[in-house]
Structures are given as C-alpha cells and as structure tokens.
Amino acid sequence: MNRVEPAVATWQTPEYVDAAAFDEHDVTIGADPIAVPGTVTLPRGAGPHPAAVLLAGGGPFDRDGTAGPNKNLKDIAWGLASRGVAVLRFDKVTYARPEYLAATAGFTPTDEYVPHAVAGIEILRDLPTVDGNRVFVVGHSMGGKFAPRVAATEPTVAGLVVLAGDTTPMQWSLVRVLEHLAKVDPATAAALPTVEAATEHAKLVDSPELSPATPAEKLPFGMPAPYWLDMRAYDPVAVAATLDIPMFFLQGERDYQVTVDGDLARWRAGLATRPDVTIRTYPADDHMFFPGTGPSMPEDYTHPHHVDPNIIADIADWLTSQRP
C-alpha cells in the first residue's frame, strides 16, 4: 500500500475580504544595497483613500507575515483594502537581504525598520488616489514597538496603530517567554535556550560592559552588540509621548509574548493624559490576533487561522475616522 502524505494546510482568503474591492501591484522599497520588494494593495475608486504602511514583527518576515499556513499581514492588508484603506507591506531586509545583515557589523533595529518604512510612506503619498495627509504606520509586535521611531523620523506620518507592541526590553521578554513555555509547553521549551542562559545574556545587554566589541554569541538571538546598544537606547513609550499624532493600541488578552500587564500597562501609563490615544484589548486573541480559547501555545501557529475580523473592522474604522 502506498503511503499517503497528510495534506499541508495553505492560506485561504478570509471571509471578510472583498477581492473585487481592490487591486495590487509590486513595488521596490528603498535603494540598493538594502532595496526590498513590496506590495501595494489599493482600493478601487478615485479616493482619496487613507493609507498605511505595515511593519512586521521581530525576525526575518516576508511581506505577508508568513508563519506556517498563516499570513497575518496579508489578512490585515486585504481586510483593510476591502474597507477602503490603501496598504503597503514589504519583505523585511532581514528576510530579503540576509547577506546585507551578515556583512553589516553595525546593523541595528533602526536599520531594520525605519529606512523602509519611510520609503514606503513616500510611495503611498505619491499615489494619486491616496490622501497624502492620511498615511499611517501600522506595526505588529516589534514593528509596533518601532512605529514611534518611524513617526519621529518622518513628520508626515498621520498616526500610529500598534498591535501588541512590546515595551518590556526585548532581552527580558525572551526570559519571560522561556519561563512561560517551561511551564505550559516543556517539549517546545526543551528545544530553546534555557532560562538561565537567556538571563545571563539579558544581564549582559543591561551591563555597562556591553560595547560594540562584545561577541554576538554572548547576546540574545546571536544578534551583534550594536543591535542591542541601539535597542537599549530606545524607549518606545517616551518617544510616543513626544508625538503630536493620534495613536491606537490593540492587545490580545491571550498573548503570552507581549502582555497586558507587562507591556500594554507601560503604554497606558506613559500616554495616560493623551485624549488622542485609544487602547482596546481583545479577550479571545493571541499574539497574532488569532481568536481562540484557552492558553495560547506555540503549536497553535501551525494550524490555519485568520486575524480576528473585529481587529480588521476596528483598525479600518479608526483609520477612516482620522482627519488632519
């Protein structure tokens, strides 16, 4: 008897997408040696449409945010475009140009996000059916963390949407995640760095002994010291507090990677006096804003999901309601 291999799940169009409502075309973001490919999803009609640049989370993500059978950024782009919002998304330089990363000793998180986000904003502002005064930044996870830095660099940004943006220093977020997984998913935790090793790496990031010459192998994720020096010097809440633009923060309550108590609380405290800041939490959603029940587990991401339709609707409504 021939062996029958199990079917591999693939991404399917979410029910909330109206594919007849928009068109797509490819673009190049930035210039060599760090040019990356991207896609503009443009609502049909004369507009002028509000628009958003999407920023993926930490790691070498493609423009769709592909993780197993899931594509959370494509869900968001197509969902927003179905509701009249133009969207630009792009392959991160860590995905499209790994050779650049390997050859650049001074590579930083700013290099990872800001140049391409700014270039994407310029592309959207030049489109004839886009309202150039209503181009926003929508960032997920680490992309949300660095959204304020993009807006601080590019003054034409009309506002920020931050999806599970982390505020806990990333080296300590890693320790927190490893501690959590050791309790709820020991099998997955066994394949990851130990809590003890991650704690030592985190302490070195905090230490005054950290310098550009510190070996990468002694640091979290094996990223070079300049990356951590730049990360350590950046306070996303403090930068956000300097921005005179509206902001919308969304957080899943089932998220164990970025948490309500550990991360969202800092946004709340730092922006508490701002009437132009909106914060919402979603009880059913995990870090990817996939709805579910029970504790969120890493294995969940291997199954097909779509971004919560409430997230799509709330972002679209917020973006279209903002006026200069």
Q: Which of 140, 287, 305, 306 is catalytic?
A: 287
Contacts of 236 (CB under 8 A, 6+ apart): 145, 146, 147, 148, 149, 165, 167
Catalytic site includes residue 255: yes
Location of structure tokens 């109206």: 18
Catalytic site includes residue 141: yes
C-alpha separations of 154 from 137, 138, 151, 157, 218 in Å: 11, 14, 5, 6, 34
Give the residue among 103, 115, 129 at the shortest CA–CA distance from 29: 115
Beta strands 49-55 and 130-140, pairing class = parallel
How far apart CA 149 and CA 207 sit, in angstroms, is 24
Which residues, in sequence order, are bridge partners of residue 87?
41, 52
Contacts of 146 (CB under 8 A, 6+ apart): 55, 109, 110, 112, 113, 114, 139, 234, 236
Contacts of 235 (CB under 8 A, 6+ apart): none
Catalytic site includes residue 300: no
Give the residue among 218, 116, 211, 220 at the shortest CA–CA distance from 168: 220
21-28 contacts at long range (C-beta below 8 A, 24 or more positions apart): 21/81, 21/82, 21/84, 22/78, 22/81, 22/82, 27/88, 27/123
How far apart CA 236 and CA 241 sit, in angstroms, is 9
Q: Which of 62, 64, 255, 308 is catalytic?
A: 255
How far apart CA 91 and CA 38 sit, in angstroms, is 6
Q: Which of 82, 141, 173, 296 is catalytic?
A: 141
Catalytic residue set: 141, 255, 287
